[in-house]
Chain A
């Protein structure tokens, strides 16, 4: 079995994050870029299946040159190889543009199963698996908390707003996973050393046969009119509890008409 894991380098959500001056894209120039946290669970799930079935695991990422640092870190967990699509023309792509690039890159790879995180901490659009499913004509099973590979198919438990669903699919599929699915492993020293020698293939849009005009800002079906940091919340009132903290709280809630 061949598994491709989609990984994304994002600004560390534990640090201040910003949009680039043009308002179109995430400012990724800072030093604090990490693998999207949810993607680590997708990598772990792929490695679990690799341990079980001997699957080949390839990472796929789209991002600027310095994304290679995150790729090496991810490889140290245990995947076999990585593909890095790096092209300035991709910058400013909307969700659909990004999906087109990923779909084209997947076209160059052998895969039976694609895994991704259920959400990214920067764009957070959640729609990517279904965009890819439409573009590649494969199954999409999103929000998985459990994945079982059966004969020629997949059984997935999907977390929903009302409870959970059990889904079955056959053929090629993309599955996005929640952080309840497993506990990602820490890279071992051996893994870190081995990661340095693992193959990382870098591809451009031309390599993929993607017309640069159909992606990036020029290909986007949406346009950004303005982007501003949300005004800071005004300083509030802070009181120390001297035995009447609860009463003061009720007084506040009453004044604000919540009680």
Chain B
């Protein structure tokens, strides 16, 4: 069976959910093999999860240069591996780094690249969302090994235990790939909440939340539902919540099972980041707010009355 390379996206010794989605998606095309690129010791804590979700092999490329310089060394090592294995496709996550590696690979190998893919058929047809999810495009790579970046939350990962046989990959990074050195890496305090782009539930607050203190209400509902907290641009620009949690055109694009918009009017800027969510719930006091055009369930009312009542209701059901 043809081999499909899945480039592992991990953070802090844990495989990101999108990696498990890619391993699941890859099975439509062939037998998935995971590729771990990083500093020595990166692969060990990831292997069990990779095997559980179907990685027959785990290619381990570990070297300090892969971590000490930005992206280019990873692309170089991966390009050599792709040339050697001629896989049916290469899957990467649609995060910043995944796209960057994929772009470099496309130049090095002259291969077609499809980004932000949400589904992949056995014949290689990829489904992409463009214009922030308002159009659905089906495309195919016509030249070389297809390079595909996969949008998080595209499917539900399914376990399919496989051997996860570790295969060492020799790493020799050229000077050409060492142009950008990573001087310092500062990891923000990890919140106990799931990551915004991976969460199956996202609860976001907007201008209507009114202040940073009031975001505690948004957080409380998010925590009850096991979700991530997001914010509209009005809320981040207003200093209610940190910029990195912004959902929208100029922030993250999320595609959760459930998206709850609190005090968000639903300007195109915001809708662009959330309209592919499976279910959308909105609470807004303005009956005319455009967010209600998207909402599967909307409550016209004061969020400071509606949300506390909902919070109590959820607690009482447990």
Query: Is B139 within 8 A of A163, CB to CB?
Result: no
- State the CA gap A19–B138 with chains docked (Å): 13
- State the CA gap A135–B300 with chains docked (Å): 53
- State the CA gap A121–B271 with chains docked (Å): 13
Query: Is A258 within 8 A of B292, CB to CB?
Result: no
Residues of B within 8 A of A162 (CB): 11-12, 187-188, 190
Query: Which A-chain residue is minimally distant from B294 (CB atoms)?
Result: A233
- State the CA gap A158–B298 with chains docked (Å): 38
| 8 Å CB interface, B97-115 against A | 99-100, 102-104, 106-108, 110-115
Residue A139 lies at the interface, judged by CB distance under 8 Å to chain B: yes
Residue A201 lies at the interface, judged by CB distance under 8 Å to chain B: no
Residues of B within 8 A of A164 (CB): 186, 188
Q: Mark A111-125, 1 if CB is under 8 A from B, else 0.
A: 000000001011111
Interface of B is mostly: mixed
Residues of A within 8 A of B103 (CB): 95, 125, 127-128, 130-131, 134
Given A222-B139, A222-B142, residue A229 in contact with residue B134 (CB < 8 A): yes
Query: Which B-chain residue is minimally distant from A139 (CB atoms)?
Result: B179
Query: Which A-chain residue is minimally distant from B181 (CB atoms)?
Result: A168
Chain A proximity of B213: nearest CB distance (Å): 20
How many chain B residues have a CB neighbour from A under 8 Å?
Answer: 95
Residue A199 lies at the interface, judged by CB distance under 8 Å to chain B: no
Query: Is A259 within 8 A of B243, CB to CB?
Result: no
Query: Is A221 within 8 A of B309, CB to CB?
Result: no
Query: Is B114 within 8 A of A222, CB to CB?
Result: yes
Q: Mark B168-206, 1 if CB is under 8 A from A, else 0.
A: 000000001001111111111010000101000100000
List residues of chain B with CB under 8 Å of any chain A CB: 11-12, 70-72, 75, 95-96, 99-100, 102-104, 106-108, 110-116, 125, 129-144, 176, 179-188, 190, 195, 197, 201, 225, 243-244, 249-250, 257-258, 267-269, 272, 275-276, 279-281, 283, 287, 292-302, 305-314, 317
